[in-house]
Amino acid sequence: MVEKGIISSIEEKTRVMRKLAIDAAVNSGKRGISSHIGPGFSIMEIMATLYFHVLKHNPENPRWEDRDRVILSKGHGVLGLYSALALAGYFSTSLLENYDPDNTELAGHPCMNLDYGIEASTGSLGHGLPMAVGYSIAAKLDKKKFTIYCIVGDGECDEGSIWEAFMTARKYNLDNLVVIIDRNNLQASGTCSEIMDLNDISMKLQAFGWKTREIDGHNIEEIINSLDQSNRPTGHPYAVIAHTVKGKGVSIFENNVSWHSAKLYADNAKIAYEELGF
């Protein structure tokens, strides 16, 4: 059982993170720039739980050698990453509240910036997981105790390099690597079932020698339990398949493929702020 206070505290962080993401997106919209809203909102609870409960990290010392690492392989989920990093104190929330795409370190996909807590540059899909695997191999070689968390999209699993990396992680028994798959069943132009049916990811991963667990990716308690050290396997890489809703938290975004990437203007932002209680 996870204490109710912990859950409600993370839920509140998630609410503020969604607000910060809206701030950034609406500032982009003013400049005619689209934002990946759906893919960021589906991972808000996952990112909040990582940064405000699970991770061993220190925003005051972002280059701390023994910190846990997060690599956002689905780089288009960047609003979920930036809002967590800002709220955790890696950089000022004003960088999102007053987001200026012409004067920012925060690109539309993560650009490695260790002082900002951004561990790797991603954006082209199928790249982050192989990097996380390499990172985990190096950490294991040096007998480091930290964990590498890698967030992979379900659409991203269309990429062959993801499955190549799944095999490599098993070969080297990377139990210092935790993969969280954002199973929102929507990709850029339609449902995963329509575009490229992944069927049962857990069974596929198990056939690849992984241990897996399926959770509700918006349920904080389930996320915490799935990432708890005592529930993680030894000697195997481990994947949490987090069933999520793309665009979660704002009715007009939810499960709507057109909000995968779109310009957010004041009218829709107003709806989002109201629904989030701002």
Partner 1 sequence: MIEINNDNITKWSEIGERGTIGVAVADVAKDDANIVVIAADMAKALKDFSALYPDKIFDSGIAEQNMMGVAAGLALYGKIVFAFNFASFITMRSCEQVRDDVAYQNLNVKIIGSQSGYAHGSLGTTHHCIEDMGIFRTMPNMKIISPADGVELIKATREAASIEGPVYIRITGRTNHPIVYSEDFDFHIGKAIQLKNGNDITLIGTGSMVYQALKAAEILEEKGISARVIDMHTIKPLDEDVVMKAAEETKLVVTVEEHNIIGGLGTAVAEVIAEKGDETKLVRMGINDEYVHFASYHTLLERGGLTSGNIADKVISCVGQF
Can you give the binding site for partner 1, defined by CB under 8 A?
A: 112, 119-124, 126-127, 129-139, 141-142, 160-161, 164-165, 167-168, 171-172
Please say which residue, 113 or 219, places its beta carbon nearer to partner 1: 113
Is 79 or 120 the residue whose CB approaches partner 1 more closely? 120
**Closer to partner 1 at the Cβ: 48 or 120?**
120
Nearer to partner 1, 4 or 63 (CB): 63
- The nearest distance, CB 208 to partner 1, in angstroms, is 13
* Least distance CB 108 / partner 1 (angstroms): 14
- Least separation in angstroms between residue 65's CB and partner 1 is 9
In the complex with partner 1, the residue whose CB is nearer, 188 or 257, is: 188
User: What is the DSSP track for the chain?
Assistant: ---HHHHHHHHHHHHHHHHHHHHHHHHHHHTT--B-HHHHHTTHHHHHHIIIII----TTSTT-TT--EEEESSGGGHHHHHHHHHHHTSS-THHHHT--TTS-S--SS---BGGGTB-----STTSHHHHHHHHHHHHHHTT----EEEEEETGGGGSHHHHHHHHHHHHTT-TTEEEEEEE-SEETTEEHHHHS----HHHHHHHTT-EEEEEETT-HHHHHHHH-GGGSPSSS-EEEEEE--TTTTSTTTTT-GGGSSB---HHHHHHHHHHHT-
CB of 126 to partner 1, least distance (A): 7
> What is the Cα–Cα distance from 253 to 217, expressed in whole angstroms?
17
Minimum distance from CB of 135 to partner 1 (Å)? 4
* Residue 30: CB minimum distance to partner 1, A: 28
Give the contacts of 16 (CB within 8 A, at least 6 positions apart).
83, 87
Residue with Cβ nearer partner 1 (69 or 218): 69
